[in-house]
Structure 1
């Protein structure tokens, strides 16, 4: 491979901002695997956010790149998977695509095929475009991908803040998690947080039903495990709080000690897991945790905490939540899914076809 921009390459990143900034290009914020695609003739490389190769996991995308994109180019974008049960994204299905067995990879490439959504062009032919402003790169990207028709897609973009605000509300219903804003004169600078991201933030009251110890040792809490009650009365595991100062981690261990209970007397037993209740125990058997200790200490589900979250992925919080405050005034039984705001469903196909405005 001989390109003007070569792997490994760390992607340019975004920093969070509280509101949509004015006078910029706006794009949907895709919820998938960040990927930089390098093509030099028949040679294709797909680099992850941390520069590891993902070629072996997405053979259908390798073939699509060879068929649809210019013969010598470097594209920045996102790998996503469309849900087979609803009209949006399916991040869990995407995670399953990273599998060590070649036979499983081939099977999943057929049953849950991936899409690649391009949102920047870093090189074309012999030209390194990273030193060009974003508005010029975007124009070149639109020209380079004018003929694509899936599974390679060009992300929609707009300079109209009203349209961007509508996208921010509507596209969440397809599983996207906000907006990316880019200044027209933005040069591409790897591993720098020079773009902006605007994400949804909501709050929920959850039951604290367990914790994992910190990696530094057993005298501090690593994360609190959160639960919400399902309509059938079972306590489902929905996510974690993981960010605390070390002093707080140690004080929490002492504070929660009176609530420690045996696994047999807890809603998250192995029997509950096997019966279909989502519990933290599923992570203990996951290939993602082969080198991690994800066992947990069970707590009587008596304390309620208010957390901030961005959006849900099915029955759980998509990302780690943020601690807001303890809620001693709330009855744990009142912490149900009914309190959560549910975005109106939106069709992923409409997002992909929104175009430039």
Structure 2
């Protein structure tokens, strides 16, 4: 139970942020607001007097990992509000998700050092309680956006808080999706007439997806099976070494027997000559953590959504085999561009 000396915020700290369901394309028709999908940590900020609290999508507190953001909100003149946004860190003008992950460190001294070296900021895009202390979840997005803009007019600070842009023009939102070198993950679509629905997938997210040609440097078997489960993907670095960059497991059951035979015929090659796949994780069985290095002959085109530290953040989708392409043509510069 929370101690009585702790502040009581106008909305429960357990409230869940509104979420989004995935879609292949932007929704048609009128009544939609489009916003950039930011590449960071989702965060609800609660303020009551001089006390502030940062909460992750999971409900866990984030304040100890981002003390500079917590201090900024604690000192804002507005006495009472709840806003929804995304914690981001930019380094040399580019968002750096790996810098966010480094903050989740048990040592307070390490966190303090990083907060000074690579300070975070919050991109705000919705408001659950206006700065007069009145909850506005039941109000439509148009009302909430107006309240957010009124709040941000005095609170915006380029180093700590920025207001996310939006458009209601589907053509412009389409340009956001296709923009090369963009820093965001895609586009989030919200109903202009919709209320804020905590925990519900009431929004639509469309990710910016790109493709890349990768070398198959190895594979793993399916758990408790003699058939292939995933392909391990590699790209050549600037030193000419093949680095492991991720995996793809989008293989149909019908394809597995023939593909397994094809891969097993290539076993015993060099595999990854640079960064290799890691060892077992706590989620792996002894079989699924083992991997088979291959002769470097196969190239596949895969679709991915985001790269962090020259690694695909998530699994990729296998699109097609590329027998027309030499493995040595598959360079890391493909994902840097």
Is 1:79 the counterpart of 2:87 in the alignment? yes
Residue ranges of structure 2 left out of the alignment (5+ in a row): 1-6
- Where do residues 1-357 of structure 1 align in structure 2 (5 Å cutoff)? 1-21=7-27, 22-23=29-30, 24-68=32-76, 70-83=78-91, 86-124=92-130, 125-147=132-154, 148-149=156-157, 150-170=159-179, 173-212=181-220, 216-217=223-224, 219=226, 221-244=228-251, 255-261=262-268, 265-268=270-273, 272=274, 278-281=275-278, 284=279, 291-293=282-284, 296-313=291-308, 315-337=310-332, 342=337
Query: In the superposition, relative to structure 1, how do residues 59 and 338 fare at CA in structure 2: closer, same or farther (>3 Å)?
Result: closer
Counterpart CA distance in 2 for 1:165 and 1:66 is: 38
Aligned 8 A contact 1:89 1:174 in 2 = no
3-state SS in 2 of match to 1:135: helix
Aligned 8 A contact 1:65 1:152 in 2 = no
Query: In the superposition, relative to structure 1, how do residues 213 and 122 fare at CA in structure 2: closer, same or farther (>3 Å)?
Result: farther
Aligned 8 A contact 1:211 1:223 in 2 = yes
Counterpart CA distance in 1 for 2:290 and 2:113 is: 31
Per the normalisation by structure 2, the TM-score is 0.83
Query: In the superposition, relative to structure 1, how do residues 232 and 196 fare at CA in structure 2: closer, same or farther (>3 Å)?
Result: same
CA positional deviation for 1:89: 0.5
Query: In the superposition, relative to structure 1, how do residues 219 and 6 fare at CA in structure 2: closer, same or farther (>3 Å)?
Result: farther
3-state SS in 2 of match to 1:137: helix
Counterpart CA distance in 2 for 1:252 and 1:81 is: 42
Alpha-carbon deviations, 1:23-72, whole Å to 9, x = none?
32121110011111222223332222222222211111110111237322
Counterpart CA distance in 2 for 1:201 and 1:57 is: 30
CA positional deviation for 1:329: 4.0
CA positional deviation for 1:245: 5.6
CA positional deviation for 1:99: 0.8
Which structure exhibits the higher relative contact order, with contacts defined as CA atoms closer than 8 Å and separated by 6 or more residues?
A: 1
Per the normalisation by structure 1, the TM-score is 0.79
As a proportion of its length, which structure holds more helix? 1
Alpha-carbon deviations, 1:155-184, whole Å to 9, x = none?
1122233443444444x5352122112110
Give the paired residue count.
Answer: 322
